[in-house]
Structure 1
Amino acid sequence: MEYISTRGLPGAPTASFSHILLEGLAADGGLYVPARYPQLDEQILEDWRAVLATAGYSTLAQRVLQLFIDDIPADDLLGICRRAYTTEKFGRPSIVPVDRIGDGPLWIGHLSNGPTAAFKDMAMQLLGEFFEYELARRDGRLTILGATSGDTGSSAEYAMRGRDRISVYMLTPAGRMTPFQQAQMFSLSDPNIHNIAVDGVFDDCQDIVKAVNADAGFKAAYRIGAVNSINWARLVAQVVYYVALWLRVTTRNDQRISFAVPSGNFGNICAGHVARQMGLPIDALILATNENDVLHEFFQTGVYRVRQGSEVAATSSPSMDISKASNFERFVFDLLGRDGARVAELFGERLARDGRFDLSQTPEFAQLADRYGFISGSSTHADRLETIRGLWENNGVLIDPHTADGVHVAHQWLRRVNSPIVVLETALPVKFAETIHEAVGVVPEVPARFAGILDAPRRVVELPNDPEAIKRYIAEHEPAG
Structure 2
Amino acid sequence: MDYISTRDASRTPATFTDILLGGLAPDGGLYLPAEYPQLDDATLTQWRGLVDQPGGYAKLAAEVLKLFIDDIPAEDIECIAARAYTTEKFASEDIVPVTRLTGDLYIGHLSEGPTAAFKDMAMQLLGELFEYELARRGETLNILGATSGDTGSSAEYAMRGRDGIRVFMLTPAGRMTPFQQAQMFGLDDPNIFNIALDGVFDDCQDVVKGVSADADFKRDNRIGAVNSINWARLMAQIVYYVSCWIRVTESNEQKVSFSVPTGNFGDICAGHIARSMGLPIDKLIVATNENDVLDEFFRTGHYRVRSSAETHETSSPSMDISRASNFERFVFDLLGRDGARIADLFGTQVKQGGFSLNEDAAFTDTAEKFGFLSATSSHADRVATIAECYKDLGVLMDPHTADGVKAAREWADTVDSPIVCLETALPVKFADTIKEALGTEPEVPERFRDIMNADRHVVDLPNDADKVKEFILEAIAEAPEIAN
Shared fold by TM > 0.5?
yes
Counterpart secondary structure, 2:387? helix
Alpha-carbon separation, structure 2, partners of 1:407 and 1:366: 25
Other-structure match for 1:73: 73
Alignment of 1:315-394 (within 5 A): 315-352=314-351, 354-394=352-392
Q: Which amino acid aligns with 2:69?
A: I
Counterpart secondary structure, 1:132? helix
| Pair 1:445 & 2:453 matched | no
- CA deviation map 1:126-152 (0-9, x unaligned): 000000000000011000000000000
Residue 164 of structure 1, CA deviation: 2.2
Counterpart secondary structure, 2:50? helix
Q: Which amino acid aligns with 1:190?
A: D
Other-structure match for 1:231: 230
- CA deviation map 1:246-277 (0-9, x unaligned): 00000000000100000100000000000000
Q: Which amino acid aligns with 1:414?
A: A
Alpha-carbon separation, structure 2, partners of 1:186 and 1:477: 17
Residue 350 of structure 1, CA deviation: 1.2
Other-structure match for 1:9: 9
Q: Which of 396, 399, 411 is residue 397 of structure 2 equivalent to?
A: 399
Q: Which amino acid aligns with 2:443?
A: E
- CA deviation map 1:154-194 (0-9, x unaligned): 00000000112100000000000000000000000000000
| Pair 1:418 & 2:416 matched | yes
Alpha-carbon separation, structure 2, partners of 1:448 and 1:195: 25
- CA deviation map 1:53-108 (0-9, x unaligned): 33500000000110000111111000000000001111121100000013x11000
Counterpart secondary structure, 2:285? strand
Alpha-carbon separation, structure 1, partners of 2:356 and 2:178: 38
| Pair 1:95 & 2:89 matched | no
Q: Which amino acid aligns with 1:428?
A: L
**TM-score, normalised to structure 1's length?**
0.98
Residue 447 of structure 1, CA deviation: 1.4
Alpha-carbon separation, structure 1, partners of 2:99 and 2:459: 41
Other-structure match for 1:459: 457
- CA deviation map 1:409-446 (0-9, x unaligned): 11100110011000000000000011001101121111
- CA deviation map 1:304-344 (0-9, x unaligned): 00000000000000000000100000000000000000000
Alpha-carbon separation, structure 2, partners of 1:74 and 1:53: 22
Alignment of 1:121-140 (within 5 A): 121-140=120-139
Counterpart secondary structure, 1:311? coil
Alignment of 1:17-56 (within 5 A): 17-55=16-54, 56=56
Alpha-carbon separation, structure 1, partners of 2:60 and 2:408: 28
Counterpart secondary structure, 2:123? helix
Residue 51 of structure 1, CA deviation: 1.8
- CA deviation map 1:20-57 (0-9, x unaligned): 00000000000000000000010000000012233500
Which 5+ residue runs of structure 1 have no aligned equivalent?
none
Residue 455 of structure 1, CA deviation: 2.1
Residue 453 of structure 1, CA deviation: 1.4
Q: Which amino acid aligns with 1:88?
A: E
Other-structure match for 1:58: 58
- CA deviation map 1:215-238 (0-9, x unaligned): 000001110000000000011100
Alpha-carbon separation, structure 2, partners of 1:166 and 1:134: 11
Alpha-carbon separation, structure 2, partners of 1:133 and 1:152: 21
Q: Which amino acid aligns with 2:125?
A: L
| Pair 1:276 & 2:275 matched | yes
Q: Which amino acid aligns with 1:398?
A: L
Alpha-carbon separation, structure 2, partners of 1:390 and 1:411: 13
Q: Which amino acid aligns with 1:306?
A: V
Q: Which amino acid aligns with 1:114?
A: G
Q: Which amino acid aligns with 1:394?
A: D
Percentage of identical aligned residues: 67
Q: Which amino acid aligns with 2:53?
A: T
Q: Which amino acid aligns with 1:369?
A: A
Alignment of 1:196-275 (within 5 A): 196-275=195-274
Residue 356 of structure 1, CA deviation: 1.1
Residue 241 of structure 1, CA deviation: 0.2
Alpha-carbon separation, structure 2, partners of 1:97 and 1:54: 14
Q: Which of 459, 471, 478 is residue 476 of structure 2 equivalent to?
A: 478
**TM-score, normalised to structure 2's length?**
0.98
Alpha-carbon separation, structure 1, partners of 2:87 and 2:440: 29
Residue 280 of structure 1, CA deviation: 0.3
Other-structure match for 1:164: 163
Q: Which amino acid aligns with 1:375?
A: L
Alpha-carbon separation, structure 2, partners of 1:294 and 1:414: 22
Alpha-carbon separation, structure 2, partners of 1:478 and 1:300: 47
Other-structure match for 1:149: 148
Alpha-carbon separation, structure 2, partners of 1:5 and 1:189: 36
Alpha-carbon separation, structure 2, partners of 1:169 and 1:241: 28
Alpha-carbon separation, structure 2, partners of 1:3 and 1:298: 27
Alpha-carbon separation, structure 2, partners of 1:367 and 1:335: 8
Residue 13 of structure 1, CA deviation: 2.0
Counterpart secondary structure, 1:117? coil
Q: Which amino acid aligns with 1:364?
A: A
Alpha-carbon separation, structure 2, partners of 1:236 and 1:367: 24
Alpha-carbon separation, structure 2, partners of 1:453 and 1:89: 17
Residue 367 of structure 1, CA deviation: 2.0
**Number of aligned positions between the proteins:** 478
